[in-house]
Amino acid sequence: MDTKWLEDFVSLAETRSFSRSAQLRHVTQPAFSRRIQSLEAWAGTDLVDRSSYPTRLTPAGQTLYEQALEMLHALQATRTMLRQYCPTGQDQIAFAVPHTLGFTFFPAWLSGLREVVGPVKTRLIALNVHDAVLRLMEGSCDLLITYQHTSQPIQLDAERYEMLSLGQEVLAPYVRPGDDGAPLHRLPGCAEQPWPYLAYAPGAYLGRVVDWVLQQGGANFHPERVYETDMSESLKAMAIAGHGVAFLPASSVQQALREGQLVSAAGPDVACEARLDIRLYRERPGARRPKRAAQKFWDDVAAAQARSN
């Protein structure tokens, strides 16, 4: 039995909605429903009365809900006690960060904060966006840095989590230039000669944002998917090598642009970029007290933002 099933079940008991809980748990509704069914199979009885709306627990489900709260609390308390044995744990801040932000944003952002926060010990946990958000929800990191786009909102309960806005990032198409300096391919392309599309793997956060960008153009864009990966750095390398067009964060291509390895692939008057927020999240202090180092870091960053505003 996976403890994530218990967390899913607690969410369902509290929201009384499969769709809302699926959003909060950052999974699709069919996947969320399968996990609840797996828990019912483990329990050997129905836990949810599916004939009612809003969703209602069966008597067995109500019993499991009460027990699940105690079990999850006990597991969290145990993990907190175990972390005391880690010699660097109490003064080290664990950041869950998507791979792309770990490469492009995090190092420079942390350097810019030195005068504000002083020396700080950090541990970077590089993941995809979905897993980074789950790390925060599971209490496996102190702070989360992630993207936010209107088409793909991060569903974190504002009553449980608080947020600071750190800046913005532009996601736009880039391609290798030809010998004349002009882009080898230019968007939007045409049906007779589609442009080779270096894509994010299905389900990747930035891939879903790019899908939104292309959908805004309707039938005007003509990509041909020739390569896909989860890693924006791999897409950049493929674009530099001349394999096609990649949508990349602007901060990740500055050196390549200066050195003439990449140019914009957007044609004149073609809208094909997305502006994303970069956000810092943490769980609000409550029953689980944050590390002193993480609390000080958050307070210092929040105070610096207040002064700059």
Q: What is the pLDDT of residues 170-204, one digit of tens each?
A: 999 999 999 999 999 999 888 888 999 999 988 78
Domain range annotation of the chain: 3-83, 92-167+278-308, 169-276
How many angstroms separate the CA atoms of 177 and 302, rounded? 42
> What is the pTM for the complete model shown?
0.73
Domains 3-83 and 169-276 share a fold: no
Question: What Rg value do the Cα atoms of the chain yield, rounded?
Answer: 23
Residue type, 78: T
Sign (positive/negative) of CA torsion 223, 226, 230, 236? negative
Main-chain dihedrals φ then ψ at residue 297, nearest 5 degrees: -60, -50
Please state which CATH class domain 92-167+278-308 belongs to.
alpha beta
Inform me whether the pLDDT recorded for 100 exceeds 70: yes
pLDDT of residue 89: 61
Strands (E), 82-135: 92-98, 121-127
- Mean pLDDT, residues 103-111 taken together: 91
> What confidence tier does 1 reach under pLDDT thresholds 50, 70, 90?
low
pLDDT of residue 93: 92
- Mean pLDDT, residues 49-78 taken together: 85
DSSP assignments along 254-301, one per residue? HHHHHTTS-EE-BPTT----EEEEEEEEEEPSSSSPPPHHHHHHHHHH
Q: How many CB atoms lie within 10 A of CB 144?
A: 28
CATH classification number, 169-276, choose in 3.40.640.10, 3.40.50.150, 3.30.70.250, 3.40.190.10: 3.40.190.10
pLDDT tens, position by position, 202-256: 878 999 999 999 998 776 888 999 999 988 999 999 999 999 999 999 999 999 9
Decide yes or no: CATH 1.20.970.10 for domain 3-83.
no
How many angstroms separate the CA atoms of 294 and 308, rounded? 21
Least Cα distance to 147 among 228, 214, 206, 231 occurs for 206
Three-class SS string for 14-77? HHCCHHHHHHHCCCCHHHHHHHHHHHHHHHCCCCEECCCCCCEECHHHHHHHHHHHHHHHHHHH
